[in-house]
Structure 1
Amino acid sequence: MRGIFVTLLAVNVLLLVWGFIAREPAVVELAPIKAFKYGGVAKLELLSEASGVNPPVSLQRSTAIDQPPTVDSLQDNKPLCEMVGVFKDQEQAGLLLERLEAIDIVAEIKEVELPAGSRYQIYLPPAPSRKAALRKLTELQAKKVDSYIIPKGNLENGISLGMFSQEVLAKDHLKKMQGIGLEPKMNVIERTYWEIWVMLAPGEGKKMSSLAWSRVLEGLNDIERRQNFCLDVAS
């Protein structure tokens, strides 16, 4: 009995499965796709295709640098002269000058002023009189301040509080004097010195050979030759 029931159940299951397989699938119809119309939209146009419009130009940054006009040196047109020196005195320079004149070389003795550096003076402004300067000097020396009265010049009757070769030292001393109640000032003194040279006129050095130079400089020790811009040498 149980076997018959199982057999019938299996047959029913097979029939059910067959029914699903044999059934035709339903056809699904898709709605037709309508073409989209770009109504009211203007046609795109490239800049290069547009009439009357130039294509964009790439901008290039100029690498050229404006150079200021060259300024010629004031000495460019000034001639060079042969210089001989330095001589210890006018007499020694005169000896060379005589030798040059003997061979028809135009030259002249020149005294050249050259810078010798600066000096820095710390001082108190001039007193109205010599007596007033002496009274002030006495007060300073009582405080053991090294000082003296300036005897002449633009600062006559002023009180010098020190002379220095370096500006930094002078400024330090200035602050020190201010610290004891004084009101000093600093005066910068430009120093110079003089050298004696014999300067040949423009172009005269070209007339001199090595032999000629050796003869005119004979016996003159520690004398050198150089070229420099002419200093109003007589021609």
Structure 2
Amino acid sequence: MRWVALLLLLINIGLFWWLSSSGQDNVRPVQEGKLPRVAEIKLIDEWVNGQAEPREDEASSRLIVDATEYAEGSSDALMPPGSGQAGPESAAACYGIGWFNEQAEALAYRNEMLVRFPSLRFGGVQERSEELEPFHWVIIPPLPSRDEAMALYRELVNKGIEAYVVPSGENENAISLGLFRSRVSAERILSERQAENIDATLVKFPRNRISYALVFEGVPQPELQGQGLPPAKSDAELQLIEFSDCEGVATAKKNP
């Protein structure tokens, strides 16, 4: 019995030694308070399962295949702009009704049209900026500060000269002596002020006109083409407008 007990003890010691020596190779030491990096965890996991680390070219090809499968199998796959096929709505026809001087006026007319023609499909409001002939502006060039501009303004007003201080913009702190449609009138005032030893000059005052058109999807109804457009409550002379591009709010192809 003693020999049997001794033999069992030796077997247990040998088994314990073998398990301890084989398990140490699968453990990577980690410093206390420091987590292993993701790459280290992945490499340890592949080594334990008997898989060799993939080569760089194999890893790259795997990424390409995975990305292709995702793009083919998921409707949420990202695609570069312009790579998708244009749908039928991208080339849809549209037309406009305008031009209105005020946006509120255009929207009021839209409400009337939708009541009279319920099948209309409103697409938005097109804004157009039209450059107009500039006015002629007689001014004293901008002064260094607002205080100096106000002091000169009071001096001019005390002399009975109509003037005001430009509050902002490119000519901030200038003194306006008159804004004229006629260049002849502007030059006459300029001569008078220069005769009074006022350092005035003549500049152009740029201006533009903003107008608005209603945009509707599809093609104009036969009633609009044959009988004409219902008149607006304002003095706006309305007409059908053809657009070259109906994606979003279009750009006018032909202006009135």
Normalised by the length of structure 1, the TM-score is 0.50
Larger-gyration structure (1/2): 1
